[in-house]
């Protein structure tokens, strides 16, 4: 059981807050389905297996609120899947779930991608906006081929690449997602772009929601990221594919041309006080997220 102040008004309403268990996932999944979010039960299971969560429940045991968080390294975490059942919204449950997550992550820098419904709650709990993530999806209509520059090749990822791609991911996102990368190596397909100079980019494609998702896509330059995304689009020709991208008009236009239309967007938010300005110009960047929740 998670401790909350005995005087908290939600306790008067007999709302209980506790650690999320795998037994809660069917009800949690129902909450996301009610919002028309695409997650499968397997997606919830994978997300919880990689992190931790809390639920709010009624006296009858119904799950009416959820939150998940993932510790990506000793000081950085992502939050996601923050949902309060519509009938229970506006009573402080979302705020309490955020408080509990933050208590479990003392001193951590926190990141999340917020829907428009979530932004006011996060602003009130110390987050600030850092950018926009566009959600592109649809049935891939054409199979584009974007060649790599001479001297570079695309190849399947192997276990021997693990350390290099974890280091590249950490350099791009300033967090240690090694556990996530290892999971993706088992759960999805991975490719890398390399040359004699070493790995210049990597990406994954896996089953998620209504079809597949391509991401994360991490690379030192878009000349490596775009061919990888085109490769995944080609392998998913005629099928449903989703890609979540940080704001990038060139990439957005390409995705639109491939039948992956922008259907919505979320706001990236962080508790970090200021932008980290020590990014080197040749350090890798994130061209597509793993998912809105996992970052």
**Residue with smaller CB distance to ligand COA, 120 or 158:** 120
**Residue with smaller CB distance to ligand COA, 115 or 195:** 115
84 binds ligand COA (CB under 6 A): yes
**Binders of ligand COA among 23-42, rule CB under 6 A?**
35
Q: How far is the CB of 9 from ligand COA (least distance, A)?
A: 11
**Residue with smaller CB distance to ligand COA, 205 or 290:** 290
Q: How far is the CB of 3 from ligand COA (least distance, A)?
A: 18
89 binds ligand COA (CB under 6 A): yes
213 binds ligand COA (CB under 6 A): no
Q: How far is the CB of 109 from ligand COA (least distance, A)?
A: 17
SS (H, E, C) the chain: CCCCCCCCHHHHCCCEEEECCHHHHHHHHHHHHHCCCCCCHHHHHHHHHHCEEEEEECCCCCEEEEEEEEECCCCEEEEEEEEECHHHCCCCHHHHHHHHHHHHCCCCEEEEEECCCCHHHHHHCCCEEEEEEEEEEEEECCCCCCCCCCCCEEEECCHHHHHHHHHHHHHHHCCCCHHHHHHHHHHCEEEEEEECCEEEEEEEEEEECCEEEEEEEEECCHHHHHHHHHHHHHHCECCEEEEEEECCHHHHHHHHHCCCEEEEEEEEEECCCCCCCCCCCCCCEEEECCCCCCC
91 binds ligand COA (CB under 6 A): yes
* Contact range with ligand COA by CB under 6 A, out of 112-120, 171-179, 220-228, 253-261: 112-120
Considering only 33, 124, 155, 207, the residue that binds ligand COA (CB under 6 A) is 124
Q: Which residue is nearest to ligand COA (CB)?
A: 94
Q: List interacting residues with ligand COA (CB under 6 A).
A: 35, 82-84, 89-95, 114-115, 117-118, 120-121, 124
């Amino acid at each position: 059981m998670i401790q909350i102040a005995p005087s908290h008004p939600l306790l008067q309403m007999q709302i209980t807050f506790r650690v999320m268990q795998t037994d809660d996932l069917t009800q949690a999944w129902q909450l996301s389905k009610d919002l028309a979010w695409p997650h499968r039960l397997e997606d919830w299971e994978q997300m919880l297996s990689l992190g931790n969560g809390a639920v709010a429940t009624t006296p009858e045991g119904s799950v009416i609120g959820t939150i998940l968080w993932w510790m990506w390294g000793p000081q950085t975490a992502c939050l996601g899947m923050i949902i309060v059942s519509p009938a229970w919204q506006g009573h402080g449950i979302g705020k309490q779930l955020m408080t509990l997550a933050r208590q479990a992550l003392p001193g951590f820098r926190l990141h999340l991608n917020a829907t428009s419904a979530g932004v006011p709650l996060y602003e009130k709990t110390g987050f600030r906006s850092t950018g926009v993530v566009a959600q592109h999806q649809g049935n891939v209509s054409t199979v584009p081929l974007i060649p790599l520059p001479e001297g570079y090749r695309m190849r399947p990822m192997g276990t021997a690449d693990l350390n290099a791609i974890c280091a590249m991911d950490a350099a791009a996102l300033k967090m240690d997602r090694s556990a996530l990368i290892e999971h993706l190596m088992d759960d999805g397909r991975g490719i890398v772009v390399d040359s004699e100079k070493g790995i210049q980019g990597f990406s994954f494609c896996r089953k998620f929601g209504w079809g597949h998702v391509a991401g994360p896509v991490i690379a030192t330059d878009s000349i490596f990221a775009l061919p990888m995304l085109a490769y995944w689009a080609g392998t998913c020709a005629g099928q449903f594919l989703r890609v979540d991208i940080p704001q990038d008009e060139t990439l957005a236009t390409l995705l639109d041309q491939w039948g992956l239309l922008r259907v919505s967007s979320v706001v990236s938010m962080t508790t970090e006080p200021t932008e980290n300005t020590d990014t080197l110009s040749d350090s890798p960047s994130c061209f597509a997220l793993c998912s809105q929740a996992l970052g």
